[in-house]
Amino acid sequence: MSGTIVTITSGKGGVGKTTATANIGVALASEGARVVCIDADIGLRNLDVVMGLENRIVYDLVDVVEGRCKLRQAMIKDKRLSELYLIPAAQTRDKTAVSPQDMIRLTDDLRDEYDWILIDSPAGIERGFRNAIAPADIVVIVTNPEVSAVRDADRIIGLIEAEEKGPGQLILNRVKPEMVKRGDMLGTEDILDVLAINLLGVVPEDDGVVVSSNQGMPAALDPRSRAGKAFRDVARRLRGEEVPFEALESRDGFFGRIARLVRPGGDA
Amino acid sequence: MSFFQRLTGSRNRSAVAARERLHLVLVHDRAELPPGKLEAMKDDIIAAISRHIEIDTRGVSVSLTRDRHAQRLVADIPLAPPRARR
């Protein structure tokens, strides 16, 4: 069986690509899949820290491409999950050190032995983005419920379609259900309405994500984390399971408001 | 906020503005026609039509719209009232 290559991208920086990559990787591997995560953000290495593997780096992606080590030597084995690996980005080079062809060759080598190859794309639409999407079977676009992030996601969707990699799948990250409820944040439907793309996941804002990245322990490892649960659902949908979306935004409607008004100590 | 507004959640909130701004910015991005350029085009359209028929230039609106299938440039060009045209 041949592995599936999934590229996680966004256009805009800071929306949670790296967090999503680490968490989806962890979620897939904890269900027994063989997973390799590749940090394609050359010059701005980050995925290693989010996965908690920064102390074990010897070789990186550019070392592999330039023939200084074998592919397997650059693969860092995860501490917790036996079938999860990371290929880190080079920290001292830039995007031009790798070509889209290099990425295709490298991932083709991995396909035979691994079920999932996840590529963490850099922000932007330049060379690094092109490198990251070149080998992709599935492109996952991460966005936040903000006008700027959704606008960039729309641009990325257009570029992905032009490369015939489209239409891609959407993860809406850092949703605050309370703000959506009171009408101060774009909701899932608002965003799907303009982007016309398949929804892969909705991840609530969760302070635990900061705590877990402080510790290098992706939230998907924590059974109590709400964001972790959302990422585990994403992983299951990638595997083809039908997973219902949790109603983050509709916990109270008209009657909930009345209840809050009536209940002493509510914010009414 | 009044009791009724709180009850129905009908107060105009920032998500409404976000939605409108997002729609507008995407319509221009996708057409690769920034708002300033559209404005310049509107002036050209007014000039071209005015050579043939008198129009109410202040009432002219030119905008981009989008539905599921296509993007459209929609121009609404009111003619000058009949008396003024004479």
Alpha-carbon distance A250 to A178, whole Å?
Answer: 10
Say which of A150, A184, A257 has its CB closest to residue B13: A184
pLDDT confidence of residue B8: 53
pLDDT digits (tens, 9 = 90+) for A99-124: 999 999 999 999 999 999 999 999 99
Taking 90 as the threshold, does the pLDDT of residue B85 lie above it? no
pLDDT confidence of residue A35: 98
Order of strands across the sheet that contains A76-77 = A76-77, A84-87, A35-39, A116-120, A4-9, A138-143, A169-175, A198-204
Say which of A155, A182, A186 has its CB closest to residue B19: A186
Say which of A147, A154, A254 has its CB closest to residue B18: A147
Burial A186-223 (b: 16+ CB within 10 A, else e): bbbebbeebbebebbbbbbbbeebeebbeebbbbbbbe
Residue A268 within any structural domain of the chain: no
Confidence of residue A195 (pLDDT cuts 50, 70, 90): very high
Residue A125 within any structural domain of the chain: yes
**Which residues, in sequence order, are CB contacts of A151 under 8 Å at separation 6+?**
B22, B25, B26, B29
Q: Give chain A's domain count.
A: 1
Residue A217 within any structural domain of the chain: yes
Residue A201's closest CA among A192, A210, A209?
Answer: A192
Residue A246 within any structural domain of the chain: yes
Say which of A150, A185, A187 has its CB closest to residue B22: A150
Closest-CA residue of B relative to A180 is B15
CB A254 to CB B8 under 8 A?
yes
Chain A partners within 8 Å of B19 (Cβ): 186, 190
pLDDT digits (tens, 9 = 90+) for A10-28: 999 999 999 999 999 999 9
Average pLDDT over residues A185-195: 95
Which of the pair, B79 or B65, is modelled with greater confidence? Answer: B79
- Which structural domain, as residue segments, surrounds residue A187? 4-262
CB A183 to CB B26 under 8 A?
no
Spans of all domains in chain B: 3-85
CATH number of A39's domain: 3.40.50.300
Alpha-carbon distance B24 to A135, whole Å?
Answer: 33
User: Using a CB cutoff of 8 Å and minimum separation of 24, what contacts does B29-34 make?
Assistant: B29/A151, B29/A154, B29/A155, B30/A154, B30/A158, B30/B66, B30/B71, B31/B64, B31/B71, B31/B73, B33/B64
CB A184 to CB B30 under 8 A?
no
Confidence of residue A94 (pLDDT cuts 50, 70, 90): confident
Could you tell me if the ipTM is greater than 0.90? no
pLDDT mean across residues, chain B: 85
Closest-CA residue of B relative to A149 is B22
CB B6 to CB A268 under 8 A?
yes
Which of A157, A186, A191, A252 would best serve as a mutation to test chain B binding (most B beta carbons within 10 A)? A186
